[in-house]
Structures are given as C-alpha cells and as structure tokens.
Structure 1
Amino acid sequence: MEALESLNLRCIAHGSIARGDVTEKSDVDIFIPSPPSSFMVETALEQNGMPINRRIIVQATPSYAIKAYIEIEENVSVSFPLVKLRPLEREFYKFGGEISLEELKRNIRVPGVDKRLMLIEPTADGHIESSIIGREEYAARLLGVSVDIVWDRVKALTRRDEIGRTGVFLERELSPEESFELVLKRLADKNPAVRRRMKASEK
C-alpha cells in the first residue's frame, strides 16, 4: 500500500485483513477505487521490488465493472477498476470491510461481512460473529452502506450456496507485452457486453 500511495494511488485493504479475522490462508487484497493508469500501478510495484506474477482482466457478470487484477504472490493481489464504479459496486468493499493505509498502521479494525454472510464485529481481544440474515437493515446502518448492497450480496451469496459457484462472465490473462488498456479496447471491439459497460460508466 505504501508503494502505491507513494505515487498518489489511494488504495484500501479489504476483507479479513480489514476486519481482523485473519488466518494463515487469508488473502491480502488491496484495491484502488478510482480507475488509475495501469502503468503507474505496475511502476509503483516494480520500483519497490514487488514481482508481478500474473495480470488478469475480470468481469464478473455482463453488467458489472471490468476490473484489473495484479497477482504479486499466490494470496496477495492488487486490483482496480478499468471503468468508473457504480455506487453499489463501490459499496461492495465497505460491506466486506475496508481500511486505509493510515488505519492499517494504527492497527484499526472495522466491521464487515464475510462470504458466509456473517457480520464480523471486532472487539478488544478478537471478534464477534453473527448472521446478517433477517438483520439486513441493522447491518447496513452499522457498516454505513445502503441496504441495497446488503440485499444484493445476500441474494448473490445465497444463490451461490444453492447452485454452486458459476464462474465469471469474462476472464482474460495478459501476456507480458500487453497493457490492461490495450486488451480492454480489444475486448470492447469484440464483446458488446464490455462495450455497453464502458459506455455506461461514461454517463
């Protein structure tokens, strides 16, 4: 995060690292909310000696924002949107728990909801877990998000439990000589769904 912020790339850590319910298998997910220049992101990482192992473009569904993922290690990644996020897409990160670099340095932990739809509330010596099912409005107030994102995640994760993980709409790994912006343009030329989502973000 310090590497990114050194080039004025404001970022957040999200998920278990923000909530404090980390295990040895926990992922370290860093997210840059505002679409940056991918060159700047890669430069920041490389200047600080961080290897770029894989670069992937992902679009979860035809209507979701297209995002770039840079894998540094097996469980460490930096991601950022390639189009402007809708308000609900931005709230997704706050729903799961997010902290800034400054908050991370001060050992601050925040409440958030995990993939089991369990609300994780940090305490002085650990955390408390409770289901958000039937308590959606309370969870929204506590997390400072709209109830719409809570219902959206409940619907998505409940459906995943019922029918299993269905995969993502689009996933494209980049070769070493390709840039995210160039590949996105090529995908937009070929794929109407990508084109539509890019146009929607320009409004």
Structure 2
Amino acid sequence: MVKEKVVRVGDRVEVVYEPKRWKILVGKRKEALKIMETLSKFGLNPIVHGSVARGDVKETSDIDVVVPYVIPSYKVELALEAIGYKPFKRIIVQATPQHALKAYIILDEFETKVVSFPLIRLSRREYEFYRFGGMLEYEDLKRNIMKRVPGVDKRLMLIKPTERGHVEEPIIGKEVEVASLLGVPIDVVEERVRVLTRRDKHGRTGVFIKYELKPGETFEEALDSLLKSNPYVRRIFYERM
C-alpha cells in the first residue's frame, strides 16, 4: 500500500473525474450495496465509509462496510455466506489499549473488501470517526447509488463532492469549519489531525492487538480468550459495558 502524505498547506483545488473514475465508483458502490443489502436482510444496519462514501475512489480503493454496534458475529457470517462470500481472513484488531476491539472479516486476498463490527461498544469519538471520513447508511445508498458525502481522507484533505467530481483542500488550520461541515465535534477533528500528522512524521507504530482467528473459531471465543489473557482487554471491556 502506498503511503499517503499529509498535506499541511495548499490551495482549494477542483478535481474533475474522467468517465473511467465514475465507472470505478459505480462498480465499488454496487459491490458495497450488495454486501449491505444482505446484512440488512439479517436485521443489521450497516454503513459504508471512506472514499466509497465520498466518491473519490481509485481502482485500489477499499470497500469498507461497517456494522457500528455490537452484534452476534454469526449473523454477519451467515449474511455473507448467503451471497456466496467465504471469508479470506478473520481478525480482531485493537489499535491501542484505549480503543474498542473490532472484528474484521476480509473477503478477498487483496484485502480490499472488508466487513467490520465492534466486539465492545464504540466510544462517541470512535463512531464519529466514520462520519469524519465520510459515511453513508444503507438506505441512503439504496435510494441513490450516486449520492456522495463530504469527508476527510488520510492526507487530511477535505473532499467535497461536486457535479464534475470534487473539490479538495487541507483541513489544518480550518478544524472548526470542517467540524461544522461534517457535523462532528471539534475534538474528533483535532484528534484525527494529531494522529495522522504524528503518523506522517514518525510512521505507523503498529496496533496493540492483531489476532487472526483459527478455522472454526468464533469471534466471541477469540474475545473470551483475549479477556482471560490480557488485563488491558478486560479493563476496556468492563469500562464499556
């Protein structure tokens, strides 16, 4: 994966999409909608976030579908099986001891199609992170497959959709304005700026926990093992109950 550098200063620029880019967007959205539809049929309320929600996709862009609340993992796996998906990999990730543990079901060998859900309750900031990056609910996408929303990418560039593509500009120094536009608290914007600028300067420091499930192991069984073996996992689990 190519690292995207944080843009600290720059002008507001319009990006006009060529027909090929619109075609890529439609293709990725149809795939996202297919995944979200089966999850919805199993009583879940998924969202899609990131570039697929904003519209500024590339061929390598991920399709990130999320059920943003705690659910029995079998519902997600049964829903995916119903449309022919067999997980390529299943992992649990905890970014830091202060973050929720999340389940990731990776659907392809290139890890570009991912369904995730928290194993413990998300904090307000963790949920608002999805809105910060741009998110669409299933019903929004179902009603209009070309609906796009503003959001901030990994370069800390605000992406605002237009009829011809999008306009983009750096958010550093404009945090209050961006928070208002995206409908998120200012502390969410400030935290993402801190995290991504630090990562840009020092590189990724890894994650606190990354556990790949064994064949036949459920997410709940894996979480139970982590609870027994890791005091930090126990602490965040009981704090979020």
TM-score range with shorter-chain normalisation?
Answer: over 0.9
Deviation readout 1:161-186 (Å, 9 max, x if unpaired): 11101111100000111000111011
Unaligned runs of 5+ in 2: 1-35
Partner of 1:86: 123
Partner of 2:87: 52
- 1:133-172 equivalences under 5 Å are 133-172=172-211
CA distance in 2, matches of 1:185, 1:151: 34
Offset of residue 150 of structure 1: 0.2
- Paired letter, 1:90: Y
- 1:27-176 equivalences under 5 Å are 27-73=62-108, 74=110, 75-105=112-142, 106=144, 107-176=146-215
CA distance in 1, matches of 2:61, 2:72: 28
Deviation readout 1:19-66 (Å, 9 max, x if unpaired): 000000100000001111101100000011112110000000010010
**Equivalences, count:** 202
CA distance in 2, matches of 1:100, 1:28: 14
Which range is displaced more, 98-107 or 143-152? Answer: 98-107
CA distance in 2, matches of 1:11, 1:192: 31
Secondary structure in 2 matching 1:150: helix
CA distance in 2, matches of 1:40, 1:176: 17
User: Which residue among 193, 198, 201 is the counterpart of 2:232?
Assistant: 193
Secondary structure in 1 matching 2:187: helix
CA distance in 1, matches of 2:195, 2:178: 16
CA distance in 1, matches of 2:47, 2:203: 29
Secondary structure in 1 matching 2:240: helix
Give structure 1 regions of 4+ aligned residues with deviation exceeding 2 angstroms: none
Secondary structure in 2 matching 1:198: helix
Identity percentage over the alignment? 53
- RMSD between superposed Cα atoms in Å: 0.7
- 1:10-25 equivalences under 5 Å are 10-25=45-60
Q: TM-score, normalised by structure 2?
A: 0.83
CA distance in 2, matches of 1:177, 1:101: 30
Offset of residue 102 of structure 1: 2.2
CA distance in 2, matches of 1:126, 1:183: 43
Unaligned runs of 5+ in 1: none
CA distance in 1, matches of 2:162, 2:140: 16
Q: TM-score, normalised by structure 1?
A: 0.98
User: Which residue among 34, 38, 42 is the counterpart of 1:7?
Assistant: 42
Secondary structure in 2 matching 1:94: helix
CA distance in 2, matches of 1:52, 1:30: 14
CA distance in 1, matches of 2:208, 2:239: 18
